[in-house]
């Protein structure tokens, strides 16, 4: 299996601040990876470079073999992106909006309609199909955003805090559906989250960033053992505490 995402030597500076300092990150086909780190660690800047939203000062990003920024359009055609803050077209019904998005991804109308129906059922939101997008709650918007992101069967699904606005029972169903998408369709997952329980249930590998550098990369149990803590949450708190202590010096 080849890499669907390969980043090497990423560096990003903002004036005198080095936000990202030599980050390497790979995601293989079908792999489920969490990108973790406390606020200010460089995680969000790294994610934006991986998506081609900002250009690194040094280093390279390849998505499905396409080098950014020149190959961004072709690379991003194989990516789905989920974040609770992404908007939906308020004046369209859910089914209409999803069908249009499928068309924008190059899907034929019949294929898009089938994918819409399949994924509305998969994520247990078929009852929202005829609802106006403007009438959705924040949690419902998140769920429809996930459906939108998986319609075209992307090779890589990037999820930024995917269940932050969801009730625990709904979050459980979403995690189960995402595991189904990854297992059945071979979609790789790249997840950012502050919910370490979710990470342990959803991801087979975690990458921790602190002070702009990768400080741990491996299966959750191995990373926990590396730091001598009981679980990922304790590792996260350790790294966040270290960052805060150094900032106070």
Interhelix angle 168-185/138-150, nearest 10 degrees: 0
Tokens of 20: 């990202």
Q: What is the mean pLDDT of residues 198-224?
A: 94
Percent of the chain residues topping a pLDDT of 90: 85
Q: What is the mean pLDDT of residues 74-102?
A: 94
The pLDDT assigned to 247 comes to 44
Cα distance between the two ends of the chain: 45
The residue ranges of every structural domain in the chain are: 1-78+155-179+187-249, 85-153
Range with lowest mean pLDDT among 31-40, 224-233, 237-246 = 237-246
Alpha helices in the chain (DSSP H): 43-50, 72-76, 94-104, 109-122, 138-150, 168-185, 196-202, 220-227, 232-248
Q: Is residue 249 scored above 70 in pLDDT? A: no
The pLDDT assigned to 244 comes to 45
Which CATH number is associated with domain 1-78+155-179+187-249? 3.40.50.300
Q: What would you report as the CA-atom Rg of the chain, rounded to the nearest whole angstrom?
A: 18
Residue 243: pLDDT band with limits 50, 70, 90: low
- Per-residue model confidence as pLDDT tens digits over 121-158: 999 999 999 999 999 999 999 999 999 999 999 999 99
Q: What is the mean pLDDT of residues 19-34?
A: 97
The pLDDT assigned to 39 comes to 87
């Amino acid at each position: 299996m080849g890499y669907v995402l390969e980043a090497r030597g990423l560096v990003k500076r903002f004036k005198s601040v080095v936000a990202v300092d030599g980050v390497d990150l790979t995601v293989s086909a079908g792999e489920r990876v969490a990108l973790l780190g406390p606020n200010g660690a460089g995680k969000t800047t790294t994610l934006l470079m991986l998506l081609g939203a900002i250009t690194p000062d040094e280093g390279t990003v390849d998505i499905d073999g396409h080098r950014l920024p020149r190959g961004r359009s072709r690379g991003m055609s194989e990516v789905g992106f989920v974040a609770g803050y992404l908007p939906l077209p308020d004046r369209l019904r859910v089914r209409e909006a999803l069908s249009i998005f499928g068309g924008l991804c190059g899907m034929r109308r019949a294929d898009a309609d089938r994918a819409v129906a399949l994924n509305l059922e998969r994520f247990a939101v078929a009852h929202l199909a005829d609802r106006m997008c403007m009438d959705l709650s924040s949690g419902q918007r998140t769920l429809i955003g996930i459906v939108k992101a998986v319609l075209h069967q992307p090779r890589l699904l990037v999820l930024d805090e995917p269940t932050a606005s969801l009730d625990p029972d709904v979050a459980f169903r979403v995690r189960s559906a995402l595991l189904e998408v990854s297992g059945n369709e071979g979609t790789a997952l790249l997840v950012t989250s502050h919910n370490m329980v979710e990470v342990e249930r959803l991801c087979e590998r975690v990458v921790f960033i602190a002070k702009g550098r990768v400080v741990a990369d491996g299966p959750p149990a191995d990373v926990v053992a590396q730091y001598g803590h009981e679980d990922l949450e304790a590792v996260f708190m350790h790294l966040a505490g270290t960052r805060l202590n150094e900032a106070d010096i």
